[in-house]
Amino acid sequence: MEEVTLTEMLDARERRVSIQTHLLKQHKLPIICLTLNIPGPVKVFSQIPDAYDEGCRRIHFLLTQQKFPVIDFIETKDKTGYEAFFSVNASASDLKKAMVTIEDQDRLGRLFDIDVLDTDGRKLSREEFGLTPRLCLICDRPAHECSRSRAHSVPELTKQIQKILNERL
C-alpha cells in the first residue's frame, strides 16, 4: 500500500481534466467519469481493483440495458486511484439519472463517485434533478457536510470502507 503525495494527487486531477477535455473535443458527447471515494493518503489497497471493476461492470450493464452506446472508453490505474471515462451517445441528464441509481444501489455504490459531464464539460449535480445529496459513510448526514467539517477521521472512514468492501466483494 503506497501513500500518495499532494503533488501526485494534483497531477492526477490535471490528467483527469486532460482526458475529459480530449474526449469532449473528439466526440462532442457527454462523459461519465468513475472514481472511488477513498479518503486519505492510500488510494489503492487490496480490494480496490475488485471494487473498481464492479463499478465499471455496473455502468456498462446499465448503459447496455438503457441502449446508451459507449463511443469511447479510457481508464487509468495508478497509485492515485483507478479512473474510468466513458464517452456516451445519450443525453447528459439521462446519464446522470442512471448513474445516481448505481451510486444509490447499495453500500458498495456509496463508494463509487460517478460524475457526468455535459458536452460543455459542466458537471451535473444531483441537486439540479431534485435528488438528495450523497450521504456520509458513517453517520448518514450529507457527505459534503462531514467532509468539510472533518467530522470523521481518515482511520474511521477507512475502517468503514474496509467493512463495506468485505461485505460486498
Q: What is the pLDDT of residues 74-102, one digit of tens each?
A: 999 999 999 999 999 999 999 999 999 99
Element (DSSP H or E) covering residue 38: none
Percent of the chain with pLDDT over 90: 80
Looking up cell 453517520 gives 139
pLDDT band, very low/low/confident/very high, at 147 (cuts 50, 70, 90): confident
* Domain residue spans of the chain: 6-132
Integer CA distances (angstroms), 132 to 32, 34, 128, in order: 20, 19, 10
**What is the pLDDT, as a whole number, of residue 75?**
97
Question: 6-132: CATH homologous superfamily?
Answer: ACT domain (3.30.70.260)
pTM: 0.93
Residue 140 has pLDDT above 90, yes or no: no
Percent of the chain with pLDDT over 70: 99
Q: 47: which DSSP letter?
A: T
**What is the pLDDT, as a whole number, of residue 20?**
97
Q: H helices of the chain, where?
A: 6-27, 48-65, 92-103, 143-149, 154-168
Residue 14 has pLDDT above 90, yes or no: yes
CA distance 65 to 60: 8
Looking up cell 462523459 gives 31
Q: Which residue from 154, 163, 168 is spatially nearest to 38, judged by alpha carbons?
A: 154
CA distance 46 to 154: 17
Taking residues 26-43, report their average pLDDT. Answer: 95
Residue 117 has pLDDT above 90, yes or no: yes
Taking residues 122-149, report their average pLDDT. Answer: 89
Taking residues 29-49, report their average pLDDT. Answer: 94
**Predicted confidence (pLDDT) per residue in 44-78, tens digit:** 999 999 999 999 999 999 999 999 999 999 999 99
**What is the pLDDT, as a whole number, of residue 44?**
94
**What is the pLDDT, as a whole number, of residue 28?**
98
